[in-house]
């Protein structure tokens, strides 16, 4: 099992800055730390092996440590809310989604230490409860009939804390024949002693954490002074508000306001605005959604619901264990804090590599002379796949992989600690898709040594560890380069990448925000030279928010390979108001950016490329210098070949430039390398690579109108072949040839009458 883990407070930092690391120990009370440059993170003995370079820093040495926990689950809190010591009525619209869970909170004004206050909740099976705690003890009322999952109800609860009287009214918004879920019941309980503060969807526990979370949507919570019938709920939610009832209004939280923030707006007279914890999902259709508009920005009154989850997580909020001041002269590149609490063995892993990147100084006066080559670290993809656990939770994974799935200590620890939070590929405990992912938590698959279930036969590396194959090759070949991350590009835009002649991608740059897309396209259109060394790039649109720094949002709308599908009406990002989903569906197919676009995926064996006629075009002469081979990349650490996992190809109908050369195409794929579903309407009978000739990776090159160029390998597995035979192979030679020419400032030709090769 994993005995030590942690995370940094950010994924990129400049030389001279201090980066804080949060570390948790499951055994021992001290750990050793040292700063290292990550050169190769793949432990496969068939390859170069693990490679790190120690960088002396103030982190070196022993540090005290302890076990740190994660308080998962979303909620709303109003810290300054006065005690509800007189009779009151609570109204809300409610859509429960996980009724097998017991002891959920709808509203709480509860002191857990003394067991006093008022708690309105749900018990297992879907029964509304009201609990009063006071001088005579704790008593509870339970509604006699249960709610049904994923159905809207109007809930009204009238309570007189001093007398202990309770009335529960529960009415389905859509009544069904033969159903029995309407409640109108009175109860006599012991009196309650008033508490302070107020929470929705969670209760503050005695140890200071928040628990007893609710799974589902709440819409239009209202508090009135006095005891009122359920029939008034509809009048209260109308606009303009009923003046007579307004005199009794304590609070009315309108969740359709400030959807893009962490604030909940109280439209009542006292402005008891709330704060959201752990990032519940907003921009969600409410009880009154009609389908007349699917964008919350245009019809916010139909999006007054917040979906709370008991397993939401924004910030693990661990204490800093060691703060490292990066040396002023530290070169840009991939780094990690190596932490250990003892020797590892077959039963336990007692070391971790907490990854981050060092970027060039943003201050022009400190930048100095920079290399002309930049690696764009796909941190959006790292965040999207953070703690990807489908292999743990989904059925039939071995069939999809065409092999047994290996579980390491990190996977087992992930299984035992669901509070880590899922990836954008996972679902919440209630079955709804995870729409937000945060880097402010341990991310077990953003580490050197991690073996991924998606990595294919052989090394079984994916995302970050697959990208270390490229780090190693650049180190071996002596190329100087800078690193910037996706978040850096999102923040600073074109100005950040403008100084570079060449940008290299990682193996899987799948996720991009609008700001990132615009900046990269502008850079290419101004003559940049893009080396796209992966597959399935520029696929999904994501969003960031200044209100939730470190978090990223995805809505899996309409098309594409989706482990979960957003509900109709919930395709727009709450962070930005933008329509989510595939860039292809937004008129910006990846072909427009990289010259190629996603065509197939399969996670068993990787194949090779067969040289194509365009390889003999004089424009491609520099690419194949010293490479006479017809077969390219029939070797590699990722699946045994250079063409595998996820593949792209040239498609001019989707925006691939008409001058793109198809230098080589892969062949020999198995029936598990399947055509992606956005490529067909009716399901064809021949989806697999053993039958469908569209399933291929195109090695591609083309010049741009501004004198720049595009080179695409169109395969996630390409970089896994770079180190074969001591780095002396045709994949390595082609990559080196392209990089050297791309670094040459001589412009590429822009017409048939010029020669720039």
| Six-digit token string for 595 | 């010259």
Instruction: Tell how strand 373-377 and strand 631-632 pair up.
Output: unpaired
C-beta of residue 189 within 8 angstroms of C-beta of residue 52: no
130-152: average pLDDT: 97
**Strand runs labelled E in 433-541:** 436-438, 482-485, 502-505, 511-512, 529-532, 540-541
User: pLDDT digits over 648-682, tens only?
Assistant: 999 999 999 999 999 999 999 999 999 999 998 88
Q: Name the β-bridge partners of 191.
A: none
Residue 223 belongs to what H/E stretch? strand 216-225
Q: How far is the C-alpha of 680 from the C-alpha of 686, rounded, in Å? A: 11
Say if residue 244's pLDDT is above 90.
no
**The predicted structure's pLDDT at residue 754:** 62
In the predicted structure, residue 756 carries a pLDDT above the cut 60: no
Strand segments, DSSP code E, in 226-350 are 249-254, 263-266, 274-277, 281-284, 305-308, 322-325, 333-340
**Is 455 a residue whose pLDDT tops 90?**
no
Residues 318-331, mean pLDDT to the nearest whole number: 97
pLDDT tens digits along 616-626: 999 999 999 99
**Residue 238 or 530, more confident:** 530
Query: What's residue 552's pLDDT?
Result: 98
pLDDT above 90: percentage of residues in the chain? 87
Q: Which helix (H) or strand (E) holds 488?
A: helix 486-492
pTM confidence score: 0.96
Q: Is 453 or 99 the better-scoring residue by pLDDT? A: 99
> What pLDDT is attached to residue 117?
97
**What is the C-alpha separation between 503 and 520, in angstroms, rounded?**
10
Residue 240: predicted pLDDT? 67
Range with the poorest average pLDDT among 151-160, 235-244, 728-737: 235-244
User: How does pLDDT run across 43-89, given as a tens digit for each residue?
Assistant: 999 999 999 999 999 999 999 999 999 999 999 999 989 999 999 99
> Token pair of 98, please?
């996980």
Distance separating alpha carbons of residues 635 and 641, to the nearest angstrom: 4
pLDDT of residue 86: 96
Q: Which two tokens stand for residue 227?
A: 């005891």
Rounded to an integer, the average pLDDT of 126-155 is 97
**Is the separation of the CB atoms in 39 and 342 below 8 Å?**
no
Higher-confidence residue of 459 and 703: namely 703
246 vs 105, residue with greater confidence: 105
pLDDT in the model for residue 700: 97
Taking the alpha carbons at both ends of the chain, their separation in whole angstroms is 54
Q: 674: helix, coil or strand? A: strand
- Name the packing angle between helices 730-743 and 464-477 (round to 10°): 70
**Residue with token string 């009880």:** 287
Task: Report the distance separating Cα 417 and Cα 411, nearest Å.
Answer: 10
Q: Give the pLDDT score at 398.
A: 76
Q: How confident is the model at residue 755 (pLDDT cuts 50, 70, 90)?
A: low
Q: Give the pLDDT confidence score for residue 318 in this predicted structure.
A: 98
pLDDT of residue 490: 98
Say yes or no to pLDDT of 457 above 70: yes
Whether the CB-CB separation of 358 and 12 falls below 8 Å is answered with yes
Q: What is the pLDDT of residue 35?
A: 98
Residue 229 has pLDDT above 70, yes or no: yes
The pLDDT, as a whole number, for residue 269 is 94
φ/ψ of 736, rounded to 5, equals -70, -40
Q: Delineate the domains of the chain, giving CATH numbers in brackets.
A: 4-67+319-360+372-526+540-582 (no CATH), 75-308 (2.60.120.200), 586-743 (no CATH)
Q: Minimum mean pLDDT among 151-155, 197-201, 361-365, 420-424: which range? A: 361-365
DSSP letter (8 states) at residue 688: B
- Please provide residue 444's backbone torsions phi and psi, each rounded to the nearest 5 degrees: -75, -20
pLDDT at 220 over 90: yes
Name all contacts of 361-368 with Cβ < 8 Å and 24+ positions apart.
361/14, 361/15, 361/16, 362/14, 362/492
- The CA–CA distances, whole Å, from 643 to 216, 431, 720 equal 43, 34, 10
Whether residue 93 contacts residue 218, with contact meaning beta carbons closer than 8 Å, is answered with yes
Integer CA distances (angstroms), 177 to 126, 172, 380, 539, in order: 19, 12, 48, 45
State the average pLDDT for the chain: 95
Q: What pLDDT is recorded for position 456?
A: 81
pLDDT in tens, 368-426: 899 999 999 999 999 999 999 888 777 677 777 777 777 888 888 888 899 999 999 99
Distance, in Å, from the CA atom of 596 to the CA atom of 712, rounded to the nearest integer, reads 7
**Count of residues making up the chain:** 757
Residue range 445-456: mean pLDDT, rounded: 88
Q: For residues 557 and 580, give the distance between their C-alpha atoms in angstroms, rounded to a whole number.
A: 6
Helix (H) or strand (E) holding 399: helix 397-401
């Amino acid at each position: 099992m994993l005995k030590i883990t942690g995370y940094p407070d950010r994924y990129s930092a400049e030389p001279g800055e201090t980066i804080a690391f949060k570390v948790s120990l499951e055994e021992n009370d001290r750990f050793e730390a040292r700063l290292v440059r990550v050169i190769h993170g793949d432990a496969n003995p068939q390859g170069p092996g693990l490679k790190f370079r120690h960088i002396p820093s103030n982190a070196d040495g022993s540090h005290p440590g302890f076990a740190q926990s994660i308080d998962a689950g979303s909620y709303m809190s109003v810290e300054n809310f006065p005690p509800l010591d007189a009779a009151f009525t609570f109204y809300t619209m409610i859509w429960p989604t996980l009724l097998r869970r017991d002891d959920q909170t709808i509203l709480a004004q509860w002191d857990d230490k003394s067991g006093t206050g008022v708690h309105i909740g749900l018990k297992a099976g879907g029964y509304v409860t009201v609990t009063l705690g006071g001088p005579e003890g704790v008593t509870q009322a339970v509604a006699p009939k249960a709610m049904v999952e994923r159905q809207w109800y109007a809930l009204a609860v009238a309570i007189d804390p001093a007398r202990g009287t309770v009335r529960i009214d529960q009415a389905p918004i859509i009544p069904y024949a033969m159903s029995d879920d309407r409640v109108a019941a009175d109860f006599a309980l012991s009196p309650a002693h008033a508490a302070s503060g107020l929470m929705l969807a969670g209760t503050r526990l005695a140890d200071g954490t928040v628990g007893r979370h609710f799974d589902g949507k709440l819409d239009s919570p209202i508090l009135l002074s006095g005891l009122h019938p359920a029939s008034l709920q509809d009048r209260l939610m109308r606009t303009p508000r009923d003046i007579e009832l307004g005199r009794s209004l304590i609070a009315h939280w309108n969740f359709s306001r400030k959807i893009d923030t962490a604030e909940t707006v109280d439209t009542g007279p006292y402005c008891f605005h709330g704060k959201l914890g752990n990032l519940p999902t907003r921009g969600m259709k409410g009880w009154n959604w009609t389908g007349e508009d699917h964008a919350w920005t245009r019809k916010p009154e139909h999006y007054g619901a917040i979906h709370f989850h008991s397993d939401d997580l924004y910030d693990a909020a661990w204490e800093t264990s060691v703060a490292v001041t990066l040396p002023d002269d530290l070169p840009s590149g991939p780094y990690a804090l190596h932490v250990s609490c003892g020797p590892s063995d077959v039963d336990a892993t007692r070391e971790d590599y907490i990854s981050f990147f060092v970027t060039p100084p943003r201050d022009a006066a400190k930048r100095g002379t920079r290399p002309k080559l930049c690696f764009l670290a796909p941190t959006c993809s790292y965040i999207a796949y953070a703690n990807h656990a489908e292999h743990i939770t989904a059925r039939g994974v071995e069939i999809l992989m065409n092999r047994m799935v290996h579980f390491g200590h990190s996977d087992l620890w992930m299984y035992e600690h669901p509070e880590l939070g899922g990836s954008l590929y996972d679902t919440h405990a209630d079955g709804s898709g995870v729409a937000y992912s945060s880097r402010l938590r341990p991310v077990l698959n953003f580490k050197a040594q991690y073996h991924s279930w998606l990595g294919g036969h052989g090394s079984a590396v994916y995302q970050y560890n697959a990208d270390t194959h490229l780090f190693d090759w650049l180190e071996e070949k002596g190329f100087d380069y800078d690193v910037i991350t996706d978040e850096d590009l999102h923040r600073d835009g074109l100005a950040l990448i403008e100084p570079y002649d060449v940008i290299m991608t990682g193996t899987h740059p799948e996720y991009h925000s609008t700001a990132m897309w615009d900046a990269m396209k502008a850079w290419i259109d101004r003559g940049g030279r893009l080396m796209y060394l992966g597959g399935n790039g520029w696929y999904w649109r994501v969003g960031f928010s200044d209100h939730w720094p470190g978090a990223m949002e995805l809505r899996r709308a309409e098309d594409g390979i989706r482990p979960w599908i957003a509900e109709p009406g919930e395709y727009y990002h709450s962070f930005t108001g933008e329509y989510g989903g595939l860039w292809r569906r937004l008129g910006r197919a990846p072909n427009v950016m990289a010259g190629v676009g996603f065509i197939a995926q399969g996670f068993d064996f990787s194949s090779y490329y067969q040289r194509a006629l365009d390889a003999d075009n004089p424009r491609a002469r520099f690419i194949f210098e010293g490479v006479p081979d017809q077969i390219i990349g029939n070797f590699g650490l990722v699946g045994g070949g250079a063409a595998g996992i996820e593949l792209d190809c040239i498609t001019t109908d989707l925006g691939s430039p008409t001058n793109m050369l198809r230098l080589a195409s892969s062949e020999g794929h198995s029936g598990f390398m399947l055509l992606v579903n956005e490529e067909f309407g009716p399901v064809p009978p021949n989806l697999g690579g053993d039958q469908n000739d569209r399933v291929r990776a195109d090695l591609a090159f083309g010049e741009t109108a501004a004198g720049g160029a595009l080179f695409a390998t169109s395969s996630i597995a390409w970089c896994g072949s770079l180190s074969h035979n001591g780095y002396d192979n045709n994949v390595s030679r082609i990559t080196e040839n392209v990089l050297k020419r791309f670094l040459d400032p001589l412009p590429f030709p822009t017409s048939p009458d010029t020669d720039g090769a």
